[in-house]
Structure 1
């Protein structure tokens, strides 16, 4: 690769790295989605409120992640409680509504703060919630209380607000506790909605001092307003509730964590969920301990045969069958003398007395036996023809000699 190509390649790589760094380090966009969940720290979550309630309450706060029907059937009847429902929109089905009505009839209280409520519960309480979306849906509004002693606790919500209010209610049973006021800069002659409307009521229900508290400004309880000076208003609204144990609803939330996995039925059932987890762990352990590659059986490899020995034996048999004893004796003598040279480093050109003495010492043989072998070799070398007894005798002497050393 030439130099210009390398420079271009490095430049492209540097640009990619810088883009990755910029993407990683850039600030995350603020999440403005409706949540109202106790664990969410985003502007419209309820993390601040939930933790403040834990600080000021003299009793532990119970958290419900089930429907009203499923949760309230497990609530002890001998202790009065207050259930808190806060969300931008809440819908209770018939079964949930009947459970809430029975719950309040038993002397408990329900607090609901929402922009929209409909269904059996709203029909039973004879209330409707709406808003003037053409005039002051998201305009700054002053949220006040009907009690003049709470004048200093009213707050103006300038932004992050949806001004909902009661469009109709049962004036014989409902008690107005708070209002919302919006200044209309341009009044439509056909506009019959006043600037001040009720947004907080109490509806006593049953004969055991139970009550529904309905509030139409859930934004007041969000992290955004709790941390921007409007926490006093939220605290004042909640101060109307009985000082009983609080049940915090974490089910009817826009930010509720929903399992979207195809296994959601299994994961929502505790028994099936643990069975599923145990199965996964068991499979993992199986893979770790049994899934390793098992070493295959090592085949038995027969050692290679020494073909040279077989070849030598074959050649020797051929010589022996043809009666060529002289050739066999000469080869045997040459092989023996080669062993003497390679092992004892002795010169075999002259088979003298001196050679016999050195060979006897180095081979750890008796001098007489060594001399008998060498003399017999000299004798055989002097003969022109040989017989079978000559070969047998030579072999016997060599075997006797080599038995101790070679």
Structure 2
């Protein structure tokens, strides 16, 4: 890679690092999406409410992560329960509505706080909900209780609210527990029910319906309006609570691994950097790939092959004397080269020095030298003498 390419890569790397630092250190924007999830600590989540529900529950708070039809069909209760729904929109289908009505007729309580109600349940209860569409600027609304003893817990909601109310109710079995007072488009104050109780069946079952779910968000509970929310919930009987965590605008739905990665800031940046690095690798790798270097086969040692061939030729012709002479010459050259000894005289001094330098015993060394002297004194040799000489030399070198 040349100098210019390296500089370009350094600049690109520095830009990526700078972008990462800027992304990590920049202040996070406040998330104002409607959530109502028990796990969300954002302004419109219900983390605070969920962690305070034990105050109103007889025992641990149960959590439903399924549709109400699936949950109530698989669960059996020996004691009455209170089922809580809090969300900006609530819509029950036909089967869900039937299951919910059966649950209430068995003596249980269902609490629903929502800006928009849909489904067969409202038709069965003869209740209709209306939203104040003219209130696009979310004018303040005075939320009051009808009970004179609870007036201290009334609260005025000035922001982060959508005003909905009950337009019509079944007065024969419905009790108005609270009202909403706000100004219409002509700046005239109007008051409508926004908290009602509808009794169902003969087992003290009831629906408690409320049209201001913003009351139960983290934003308002931490803004000195917790007394109003607590008073609304106090209309439920003291029994074990089931918290719905399925019908939520903020319910987390992961439909693919890629969506999960892109929804997580750290994983998203890791994915982008990996893709960018892969593109750079492909670009530079495609340009700079070196062609394959062929493997050069090592040259054969022709001298060894030649020597082996000549030796086999001598052996086949029975010229053992010539082979013995060559082996003795080769061995003596080995002694001169490795041990730096003169080989002119094979006396006792030569034998002692050779034995010492080669780490062989004096007896073995003397036997080999005497055998060489014996073979040099002869003119004709046998195959057996050649084999014996080879054995002695090999034994000497292995020691």
The answer, yes or no, to whether TM exceeds 0.5 is yes
Tell me the equivalent position of 1:63: 63
Structure 2 CA distance for partners of 1:313 and 1:225, relative to 1, 3 Å:
same
Tell me the equivalent position of 1:392: 381
Q: CA deviation at 1:316?
A: 2.9
Residue pair 1:369, 1:401 contacting (<8 A) in 2 also: no
Between the aligned partners of 1:130 and 1:368, the Cα distance in structure 2 is 123
Structure 2 CA distance for partners of 1:261 and 1:136, relative to 1, 3 Å:
closer
Aligned residue among 197, 202, 211 for 2:206? 211
Q: How many residues align?
A: 342
Between the aligned partners of 2:184 and 2:79, the Cα distance in structure 1 is 47
After TM superposition, the structure 1 = structure 2 runs for residues 102-117 of structure 1, keeping only pairs within 5 Å, are 102-117=102-117
Between the aligned partners of 1:394 and 1:216, the Cα distance in structure 2 is 118
Tell me the equivalent position of 1:226: 221
Partner of 2:379: helix, strand, or coil?
helix
Residue pair 2:139, 2:182 contacting (<8 A) in 1 also: yes
Between the aligned partners of 1:316 and 1:2, the Cα distance in structure 2 is 63
Which deviates more, 395-404 or 60-69? 395-404
Between the aligned partners of 1:368 and 1:164, the Cα distance in structure 2 is 120
Length-normalised TM-score, structure 2: 0.71
Which deviates more, 19-28 or 358-367? 358-367
Residue pair 2:82, 2:108 contacting (<8 A) in 1 also: yes
Aligned residue among 236, 243, 250 for 1:255? 250
Partner of 2:380: helix, strand, or coil?
helix
Larger radius of gyration: 1
Tell me the equivalent position of 1:157: 157
Structure 2 CA distance for partners of 1:391 and 1:147, relative to 1, 3 Å:
same
Structure 2 CA distance for partners of 1:2 and 1:259, relative to 1, 3 Å:
closer
Structure 2 CA distance for partners of 1:345 and 1:38, relative to 1, 3 Å:
same
RMSD, aligned α-carbons: 4.2
Between the aligned partners of 2:14 and 2:366, the Cα distance in structure 1 is 90
Tell me the equivalent position of 2:341: 345
Tell me the equivalent position of 1:84: 84
Matching of residue 310 in structure 1 with residue 311 in structure 2: no
Matching of residue 186 in structure 1 with residue 186 in structure 2: yes
Q: CA deviation at 1:14?
A: 5.1
Q: CA deviation at 1:72?
A: 2.1
Between the aligned partners of 1:368 and 1:209, the Cα distance in structure 2 is 121
Between the aligned partners of 2:371 and 2:123, the Cα distance in structure 1 is 135
After TM superposition, the structure 1 = structure 2 runs for residues 4-403 of structure 1, keeping only pairs within 5 Å, are 16-135=16-135, 138-184=138-184, 186-187=186-187, 195-261=190-256, 307=305, 310-314=308-312, 316=314, 338=333, 341=336, 345-348=341-344, 356-359=347-350, 390-392=379-381, 403=392
Structure 2 CA distance for partners of 1:15 and 1:157, relative to 1, 3 Å:
same
Between the aligned partners of 2:74 and 2:367, the Cα distance in structure 1 is 115
Between the aligned partners of 1:62 and 1:341, the Cα distance in structure 2 is 97
Which deviates more, 307-316 or 201-210? 307-316
Structure 2 CA distance for partners of 1:309 and 1:81, relative to 1, 3 Å:
same
- Where in structure 1 are there 5+ consecutive unaligned residues? 189-193, 263-303, 381-388
- Where in structure 2 are there 5+ consecutive unaligned residues? 258-300, 356-361
